Chain A
Amino acid sequence: MKPRHRKLAIIVSGVSALGIAAALVLNAFESNMVFFFSPSQVAANEAPRGKSFRIGGLVEEGSIKRQSDGVTVNFVVTDTAKVIPVVYTGILPDLFKEGKGVVAQGKLSADGVFRADEVLAKHDENYMPPEAAGALEQARIQKTVMTQ
C-alpha cells in the first residue's frame, strides 16, 4: 500500500467505526428512554400502553395494603388531583412511607392498575423526588385554573 492509500484506509475505517458506534448508541438511547407521567396525565390517557414508563406523586394515606404472601404490596399514588393504584412485589425502599413522595417504574395494565417493577424513594428523609414534586405542582396549577 502506498502511504496515501494507507492514510485513506485509516481515515475511512476510523470514520466508519465511529459511525457504527454512534448509530448503536443513538439506537439504544432511543429505545431505552423512559418517560415520566403524572397521575393526572395517566388519567387523561396520555401514557403509553404496553410500554414501560414512570409515575410519581405522593403515596396516599392509608392506601398501603399487603397481600397475604407478605411481599406483594398495593398502594395508591396521587398528585392530589388524580390517583393511580399500584401493585409491586418485593421489598420497598427504607424511605417508602404513606404521605411521602415516590416514583415507580413499570407498565399500566388493562384494568388500570400500574404494575411497578421498580419503586424509588430516595436516600434522604426530607427529599422529594423531583418528578414527584413536579407532578404535585402541575396538579396544583390545574386546580387553581379550574376553580377560577
Chain B
Amino acid sequence: MIPELGNFALILALLLAITQGTLPIIGAARGIPSWIALARPVVQGQFVFLAIAFGCLAYSFVNNDFSVMNVARNSNSELPIQYRIAASWGSHEGSLLLWVFMLSAWSVAVSVFSRHLPDEMVARVLGVMGLVSVGFILFLLVTSNPFDRLLPAAFEGSDLNPLLQDPGMVIHPPMLYMGYVGFSVAFAFAIAALLSGEMDAAWARWSRPWTTVAWVFLTIGIMLGSWWAYYELGWGGWWFWDPVENASFLPWLVGTALVHSLAVTEKRGSFKSWTVLLAICAFSLSLLGTFLVRSGVLTSVHAFATDPARGVFILAFLVIVIGSSLLLFAWRAPKVGLGGKFDLVSRESMLLANNLLLMVAAGSVLLGTLYPLIMDSLDLGKISVGPPYFEAVFVPLMTPAIFLMGLGPLARWKQASLPELMLRLRWAFGVSVVTALLMPFIMGEWKPLVSFGLLLAFWVIATIFVSIRQRLNNSGQGGLFTKLARQSRSYYSMHLAHFGIAVFIIGVTLVNGYETEKDVRMEIGSTVEMGGYTFRFNGASPVSGPNYQAMRGDIEVLRNGEKIRVMQPEKRTYNASGMAMTEPAIDTGFLRDLYVALGEPLEDGAWVVRVYHKPFVDWIWFGCLLMAFGGILAVTDRRYRLKVHTKHVETATVADDKRVASNPRLSTGGKKA
C-alpha cells in the first residue's frame, strides 16, 4: 500500500512539474499575471508530493518491505537502521528520486527567498527548474521506478553493497547531489536572463549566493567522497582520477569558474555572456555526471543499471537540455551583451585567464573521461586513461592559475599597473621562494617537485597577507581590530577559500613527496619500522559484527620504544553477499596519518599487512573544508542579508550599487545603508 502511495505521489508531482514548467514561463512572456502567480504555489505543492514519495520509499526500506524490488535488491533485514535509511538513496532509482526531491527543495528555497525579485523573473526561473524536474520524474516513472513491486516477494533482501555501509557514504551522496542540483538554480537564472534578454548587476547578485551555496555543497561532497575512498577502499589513496570521481570534479571546475565570473558580472558588469555560458556548462556537466555515474556506462560501485532504455532516455534528455540551452544562448546572447571593457592588465583579465585555465582543465578531464567510452562504443579498441595523464595535464595548467590567484585580488579593476603590482608583491615573492626552498629540508630530504608545490602554496598565503595588510592601511582611522572588523565578510571569504587551496596544495605536495608504504609479510610478534614508528603485529582474531564476520588484527604502534596505541584493522566478510572487505585502521594526526590494513592470511597466523605513513594527508580535506567555509562566509555577507530585510528600498539599493561598483574599495568595504 505504502509503495503505491509513493508512486501516486510521484505521478501527482509530475503533473505539477509540467504545470510549473509551462504556465509561468508562458505567463511571463505574454504578461498574464495569474499564470505568473502560479509559480510559487505549484513549486511548493510539488515539493510536498515528492517529500511524500521519498518518505514512502524510506518507509519501505526501514520496514524491510522486500516485496519492493528496489528494497529487495539493496537492503537486508540484518542491515543496521541508519544504513537502511541510507539505502533508499543507495540504488540507481532511489538516488534519482533523491535528486529530484532535492531539486524541488531548491525550488522551494528559491520561491521563498526571492520575494524581492521581479515576479516575471521568479516565474521564469522556477519554470526552467520545473522543466528539469519533468525530465527527471519522467525518467523515474518510465525507466527506473523505485516503487516497482517484486512478486512474489523476496524472503530476504540481497543487501546493500558493503562498501556503502559506512557513515561517510550516508552523507556523501546527498551532499554531492545538493551541489549538482544547486547548479540548476544558476542554470535557471541564466536561462531566465536569456529569455528576458535582461541581465544586469542585480541579476548577478541574485544568482551569486545560490551558485556559491551549490559550490559549497559540491566541495564538501567531493571531499567526503575522497575521504571515504581513503579510509574505506583500503588502498590509502585519496584520489584516483576514476571516471566516477571525474564526473563530480568536472562541474566543480566549471562551477569554480562560474563563481568567479559571477563576481565580475556583479561588480563590474563584465563577462555577461561568459557567465551565462558557464552556468549552462556547469549544470550540463552536473547532469552528465549524474547520468554517467548512475546509468551503468561506467560499471563500478556507483553504477547499478545496464538497461538500454535508460541509456536512450538519458542521451535524449541530455541532448534536449544542453542543445536547447546552447541554441537559446546562441540566439539571445547578443541581446545580453558582453558588458564593460577592461585593460589587458587588470583584475578582470586575470580572472578571465583563470576562468580559461579552469575550463581547459575541465576540458582535458572530460576528454580523458569520455574518450575511452567513445572508443569502446565505436568498437575502436579498449583503452584506459589513468592518473599519469591527468597529473601531466593538471599540474602545468593549474600552476599559472594559482600564480594568478595570488596576483588577482591585489590588482585593480579595469586597469592595473604591472610594475606597481611587482613592487607591492616583491617581498611576498621573496618570502615564498625562500620558504619553499628551505621547507623540504625540515622534512628530511630536498625534492624539486616538493619545493615547487610549496612555492605555489606559500605564494598564495603570502599574497593573502600582503592584501590584508594593504587593505588595512587604506581603511581609515582606528586600531587594528576596528580596521579588521570594518572589512566585509565577502572579502574575508575570498581569502579563506584561497587559503584553503594553499592548505590543500601543501597536503597534496607533502603526502606525494614523503609518504612511505610497505606491503609486508608479518608473523606474530614481528615488527616493521616506518617514519620513526615501530609496528608490532600481535596476530588476528575472529570477531562478529551486526551483519558480518571479521578477522581483527592487533597491531601495536611504538615510538621510541613506548607504546602509543593499538590499531585494529579488519578483514570482513558480509553475511548476505559473501563479499570480502578490507577495513583499515587509521591513526589520524595533525602532521601525519598512520594507516594499516590487512591483506591476506598466510600460514601459522601470519598475514600480509599493508603499512603506510602519510605525512600531512589530512591537510587535503582540511583545505577543502576551508574552501567550503569561505563559500559559507561569502553568502552570509551583509549585502545579501540587507536585501532580505529591505525589500522596499530595492530601487534605491540598486542605484546605490552602481555608484559603489564604480569605486572598488567601497564595493566590498563600504556601508550601503
Contact = CB atoms under 8 A, between A and B. Distances in A.
A91 B367 contact: no
A25 B357 CA distance: 12
Given A6-B344, A34-B385, A71 B367 contact: no
B388 A32 contact: yes
A129 B386 CA distance: 16
A130 B384 contact: no
A125 B606 contact: no
Interface stretch (B145-153, B207-215, B576-584): B576-584
Contact of A24 (B385, B386, B393): B393
A29 B344 contact: no
B363 to A, nearest CB: 8
If over half of B's interface residues share one DSSP class (helix, strand or loop), that class is named, otherwise mixed; here it is mixed
Contact of A122 (B299, B385, B577): B299
A90 interface: yes
Contact of A71 (B353, B357, B520): B520
A122 B300 contact: yes
A107 interface: no
Interface in B391-407: 392-393, 396-397
A113 interface: no
Contact of B521 (A28, A35, A69, A125): A69
A111 to B, nearest CB: 24
A72 B349 CA distance: 55
Contact of B382 (A25, A35, A69): A35
B299 A130 contact: yes
Interface string B467-496: 000000000000000000000000000000
Interface residues of A, number: 41
Interface string A1-27: 100001001100110011001101100
A80 interface: no
A141 to B, nearest CB: 14
A24 B361 CA distance: 11
A123 interface: yes
B523 to A, nearest CB: 9
B673 interface: no
Contacts of B384: 33-34, 36, 54, 105
A32 B386 CA distance: 7
Given A70-B608, A124-B161, A32 B356 contact: no
Contacts of A31: 392
B343 interface: yes
A95 B301 contact: no
A81 interface: no
B270 to A, nearest CB: 13
Interface string B342-381: 0110000100010011001001100110010000100001
Contacts of A13: 344
Given A35-B381, A36-B383, A125-B579, A71 B396 contact: no
A90 B608 CA distance: 9
B599 A92 contact: yes
A32 B381 contact: no
A6 B343 contact: yes
A21 B360 contact: yes
A71 B582 CA distance: 17
A71 B383 contact: no
Contact of B577 (A33, A36, A125, A134): A125
A94 interface: yes
A18 B381 contact: no
A131 interface: yes
Contacts of B602: 66, 70
Interface in B554-569: none
Q: Which of A18, A35, A105, A124 has the most CB of B within 10 A?
A: A124
B389 A28 contact: yes
- Kindly list the 3 A-B residue pairs having the minimum CB-CB distance in the complex, ordered from nearest: A70-B521, A32-B389, A91-B599
6 contacts: A6-B344, A28-B392, A70-B608, A91-B599, A94-B234, A127-B299
Given A33-B384, A36-B382, A123-B163, 7 more contacts: A6-B343, A13-B344, A17-B356, A33-B389, A54-B382, A90-B519, A91-B599
